[in-house]
Amino acid sequence: MKKMPTRRTFLKRSWQGATGVSLAAMGLYCNAEDEKKGQPLEVIDCHTHFYDPTRPEGIPWPRKGSPLYRQVLPKHLRALPHAQKVTGTVIVEASSRLEDNQWLLDIAEDDPFVVGIVGHLKPGQKEFAGHVRRFSRSKLFRGIRVGQGLVEGLLESDNLADFKLLQEHDLELDVNGGPTMPAVVGRLAERLPELRIVVNHIGNVRIDKNPPPADWAKAIQASAGHENVFCKASALVEGASRGGGKAPTDVSFYRPYLDVVSDAFGDDRLIYGSDWPVSERAADYKTQQQIVLDYVKDRGAETLRKFFSINSKKAYKWVEREGRLT
């Protein structure tokens, strides 16, 4: 008996048949109408880290001797070969030092390529409210990132006042952690349905040839059940290279895991991020970008736009800046 195509396969074939050409063949445009208007596909990388070890005070991360220990600034990201030109970035903190939030904001103020900052502040500390008021005076300060353990602790102690403060300042919350982290995010999202929350790195699941772990998939679904939660398809190549060496480059290796997050979050809450320069240990920028591009482009032009820019605009409320696309 001939096997019937799945809905996913049908949609993929329908999209490919309708366009007849690849995205690359369309000259970096999402579709013919955008090309006619001169509007290239917007690509906002929502997970980059920048730092400079030549600063007088140095940096707490990465450590000396690491291949990552070098000056890494927005200009270096722009200079990389890309599968799709990156048109802006949301920087995610890479330092626990308070004044490094200001250092990132200073970089952003001078470079319209930067559309937002996710800083490092610690909820639960008495100084938190003052720090939020200080940094949120900049429209480019769009939220903070915390770890899974901190969220668990504040949930257990029922101390959510600082998370509510983020909500009051229209800031979002990035959460990093392991494969159980998305379930923790789901618990927080249930308590604070107006707080925009972004799951980092699809929960840092190990990506291999085996089927996705059931517990991780369940955690992803638990977080996706809340409309205020978004998921960042970032650090995929790192998840696929846990044993060292380079990650696989074909999208088929990642598809079962991407299917889990895509089916859970849908087309409206999945976000692009690279985790560069950390990701370069597993794959160069162009390769990691091509993997998600190959996955998402099969879902249609509108989904492509949502994944690379529209969804992140909703999650981060990143700032449109004059001169960014010049």
Question: Which one-letter amino acid corresponds to residue 5?
Answer: P
The label of the residue with tokens 């409309």 reads 227
- Supply 72's token pair: 């890494």
Are 166 and 173 a contacting pair, CB within 8 Å? yes
Upstream peptide bond of 277 is cis (omega within 30 degrees of 0): yes
What gap in Å lies between CA 1 and CA 190, rounded to an integer?
46
Spell out the domains of the chain, with CATH numbers in brackets: 31-316 (3.20.20.140)
Q: What is the residue-level pLDDT of the chain in tens, covering all 326 positions?
A: 333 444 444 344 333 433 333 454 444 455 445 544 556 899 999 999 999 999 999 999 999 999 999 999 999 999 999 999 999 999 999 999 999 999 999 999 999 999 999 999 999 999 999 999 999 999 999 999 999 999 999 999 999 999 999 999 999 999 999 999 999 999 999 999 999 999 999 999 999 999 999 999 999 999 999 999 999 999 999 999 987 789 999 999 999 999 999 999 999 999 999 999 999 999 999 999 999 999 999 889 999 999 999 999 999 999 999 888 76
What gap in Å lies between CA 29 and CA 51, rounded to an integer?
32
Question: Which one-letter amino acid corresponds to residue 163?
Answer: F
Q: How far is CA 64 from CA 179, 181, 238, 279, in A?
A: 29, 30, 21, 18
Question: Which distant-in-sequence residues (6+ apart) come within 8 Å of 287 by Cβ?
Answer: 83, 237, 249
Its pTM surpasses 0.85: yes
- Supply 198's token pair: 């972004």
Are 45 and 273 a contacting pair, CB within 8 Å? yes
Strand pairing partners for 176?
147
